[in-house]
A and B are shown apart, each in its own frame.
Chain A
């Protein structure tokens, strides 16, 4: 009954272009010589300077100490993204398991302490958080980068909701078969939450990779720079050149957004499911 609606397609294509064009221009321009960009402005089509730009950004050391390149920053971002998502999933599956499946007197107090962290994002307590991490001697370390970011109960909340939706009969049956809390968790509950874990992993990886403010505060040592915060720092250095190396800064931006975008595009289904489920 429905037929092709050209106007609808037009609107959608305009929407796609609105989202795509800035990245397209950034990518196309990054494959030109800096002189071209300076002379003719940003480019809509590709130049033949791709390999030179990207290999220089990835492998040549730059920065204040001349010790940092994009490869190192990408590695740091990967550590942050993975550490953040895996760490968060481990502690939150455990905590949610305790909250939903165990009866213990302090349970509800703990529950509220944990969930109070949902109310206040890191941004409103940056300075005291910085002080705590600095007092613990964790500045310029992966631990200091990751742990404070994990201190939020978002994932715990999702897992709690999910566990509560698991039918009671499953626990009953497992008990009759003689399963203890450990076996129930590992053999039944975790396999049941596989897709949920995958979805949260994808979302949290992207969130972790994209952190900006906390890494800025935390890392004064360039060898701990992540790529997302590194662009800005490196930019000052690039602009100090006689001819500002815009192509390199653009290439760095492309490198910074590529991994999380690929993850989201490849795992589109899980990612959307995870986002939408978390709404409930």
Chain B
């Protein structure tokens, strides 16, 4: 906190009021409602509801569909985070080492940040379209009977590919910034001590990049959980058979399309707990990062 501060009685309340009002109305109240609804059982017409204890949670957690979705979310998030981070890191290391044309590469590798996940999903849909899709023909030509409409693996392949494509840019920006913040002196010392570029990367660059890497990992998990909604809704809508529905997509499907308020709210609350856990881990690690 600042030592120098203004002492006005009502002014600060006035300044903070707009933000506070919006947060209370559009965040705190709906979040509280979600928690409340998760303990209630509502009849299909929304006319009456009664307290149901943990029934909604029990039902959600014992449902096979939910388990499928949870497994898919896990695999999907891990693959999207790993692949997009690996590709971005490789590109960032190469871009960092290059002198001529670095800024051109930077622009060419970052603009995808601005493409909406939903738009990326739409374009992906066309690339994989049965009648016009070039990628379909290409994959079929390799002997892969590619059919994302019927095959869960193929459908997962398409949403993962598009989600990775969309995320490489952001990761590239952070990794490049992280690399460029490594002091020149350290780089030069490493260059003298270790001629082998690959070993130098593993023993010097990567450990110094670890804090950035962790931050990027958190961003990627958040992205894979929440922001890929647009990709999934435009490409597969969770089909075939709910095999590509992430947990977030299921909240929308069950609650909004399926009108199962209690079940969907219980799913929301489970997601809230997951996000909170993620945040706690994030703060723990960030604190450590400050101390060393």
Tell whether A pairs with B: yes
- Residues in A whose Cβ lies below 8 Å from that of B202: none
- Residues in A whose Cβ lies below 8 Å from that of B7: 102-103
Q: Return the CB mask of B123-140 against A: 1 if under 8 Å, else 0.
A: 110110101111001000
**Do residues A168 and B2 form an inter-chain contact, with CB atoms below 8 A?**
yes
**Do residues B256 and A217 form an inter-chain contact, with CB atoms below 8 A?**
yes
**Do residues B118 and A272 form an inter-chain contact, with CB atoms below 8 A?**
no
Q: Taking the complex as formed, is A186 at the interface, i.e. its CB lies under 8 A from any CB of chain B?
A: no
**Do residues B131 and A113 form an inter-chain contact, with CB atoms below 8 A?**
no
**Do residues A19 and B112 form an inter-chain contact, with CB atoms below 8 A?**
yes
Closest B residue, CB atoms, query A43: B134
A:33-48 near B, CB below 8 Å: 37-38, 41-42
- Residues in B whose Cβ lies below 8 Å from that of A250: 123, 126
Q: A95-B18, A128-B30, A152-B27 are in contact. Are A268 and B12 (CB under 8 A)?
A: no
B50-58, B70-78, B268-276 - interface stretch: B268-276
- Residues in A whose Cβ lies below 8 Å from that of B112: 19
A:93-124 near B, CB below 8 Å: 94-95, 97-104, 106-107, 110, 113-114, 116-117, 119-121, 123-124
Q: Taking the complex as formed, is A175 at the interface, i.e. its CB lies under 8 A from any CB of chain B?
A: yes
Closest A residue, CB atoms, query B33: A128
Q: Taking the complex as formed, is A84 at the interface, i.e. its CB lies under 8 A from any CB of chain B?
A: no
B60-68, B99-107, B148-156 - interface stretch: B99-107
Q: Return the CB mask of B1-32 against A: 1 if under 8 Å, else 0.
A: 11111111101110110111011111111110
B260 vs chain A, min Cβ distance (A): 10
**Do residues B123 and A26 form an inter-chain contact, with CB atoms below 8 A?**
yes
**Do residues A41 and B98 form an inter-chain contact, with CB atoms below 8 A?**
no
Q: Taking the complex as formed, is A156 at the interface, i.e. its CB lies under 8 A from any CB of chain B?
A: yes
Give the residue among A91, A250, A268 with the most B Cβ atoms within 10 A: A91
A25 to B124, CA, bound (A): 11
Q: A12-B95, A18-B165, A117-B23 are in contact. Are A124 and B116 (CB under 8 A)?
A: no
Residue in B6, B19, B114 whose beta carbon sits within 8 Å of that of A103 in the complex: B6
**Do residues B127 and A212 form an inter-chain contact, with CB atoms below 8 A?**
no
B244 vs chain A, min Cβ distance (A): 16
Q: Taking the complex as formed, is B69 at the interface, i.e. its CB lies under 8 A from any CB of chain A?
A: no
Q: Taking the complex as formed, is B174 at the interface, i.e. its CB lies under 8 A from any CB of chain A?
A: yes
Q: Taking the complex as formed, is B111 at the interface, i.e. its CB lies under 8 A from any CB of chain A?
A: yes
Q: Taking the complex as formed, is B157 at the interface, i.e. its CB lies under 8 A from any CB of chain A?
A: no
Q: A171-B2, A213-B229, A249-B126 are in contact. Are A113 and B100 (CB under 8 A)?
A: no
**Do residues A264 and B110 form an inter-chain contact, with CB atoms below 8 A?**
yes
Residue in B19, B95, B230 whose beta carbon sits within 8 Å of that of A156 in the complex: B19
On chain B, the number of residues with a Cβ less than 8 Å from chain A's Cβ atoms is 96
Q: Taking the complex as formed, is A190 at the interface, i.e. its CB lies under 8 A from any CB of chain B?
A: no
Q: Taking the complex as formed, is B221 at the interface, i.e. its CB lies under 8 A from any CB of chain A?
A: no
Q: Taking the complex as formed, is A257 at the interface, i.e. its CB lies under 8 A from any CB of chain B?
A: yes
A100 vs chain B, min Cβ distance (A): 6
Q: A164-B2, A256-B116, A264-B114 are in contact. Are A126 and B29 (CB under 8 A)?
A: no
A120 to B35, CA, bound (A): 13
**Do residues B123 and A22 form an inter-chain contact, with CB atoms below 8 A?**
yes
**Do residues B31 and A41 form an inter-chain contact, with CB atoms below 8 A?**
no
**Do residues A113 and B28 form an inter-chain contact, with CB atoms below 8 A?**
yes
A:209-244 near B, CB below 8 Å: 209-213, 216-217, 228-229, 231-232, 235, 244
Give the residue among B11, B116, B212 with the most A Cβ atoms within 10 A: B116
**Do residues A276 and B23 form an inter-chain contact, with CB atoms below 8 A?**
no
A-B pairs with beta carbons under 8 A, tally: 295
Residue in A119, A150, A228 whose beta carbon sits within 8 Å of that of B276 in the complex: A119
B236 vs chain A, min Cβ distance (A): 13
- Residues in B whose Cβ lies below 8 Å from that of A235: 122
A29 to B4, CA, bound (A): 61
A37 to B133, CA, bound (A): 9
Q: Taking the complex as formed, is B141 at the interface, i.e. its CB lies under 8 A from any CB of chain A?
A: no
A237 vs chain B, min Cβ distance (A): 14
**Do residues B133 and A213 form an inter-chain contact, with CB atoms below 8 A?**
no
Closest A residue, CB atoms, query B274: A124
- Residues in A whose Cβ lies below 8 Å from that of B248: 123-124
Residue in B27, B31, B116 whose beta carbon sits within 8 Å of that of A260 in the complex: B116
A3-11, A56-64, A66-74, A191-199 - interface stretch: A3-11
Q: Taking the complex as formed, is A263 at the interface, i.e. its CB lies under 8 A from any CB of chain B?
A: yes
A41 vs chain B, min Cβ distance (A): 5
**Do residues B97 and A100 form an inter-chain contact, with CB atoms below 8 A?**
no
Q: Taking the complex as formed, is B144 at the interface, i.e. its CB lies under 8 A from any CB of chain A?
A: no
Q: Taking the complex as formed, is A279 at the interface, i.e. its CB lies under 8 A from any CB of chain B?
A: yes
Q: Taking the complex as formed, is B177 at the interface, i.e. its CB lies under 8 A from any CB of chain A?
A: yes
**Do residues A272 and B177 form an inter-chain contact, with CB atoms below 8 A?**
yes
**Do residues A5 and B97 form an inter-chain contact, with CB atoms below 8 A?**
yes
Sorted nearest first, the 9 A-B pairs with minimum C-beta distance are: A210-B116, A128-B33, A128-B30, A102-B12, A98-B15, A151-B26, A95-B19, A260-B114, A212-B118
Name 7 interchain pairs, CB-CB below 8 A, sorted by A. Answer: A11-B91, A101-B5, A120-B275, A125-B27, A125-B268, A151-B25, A213-B230
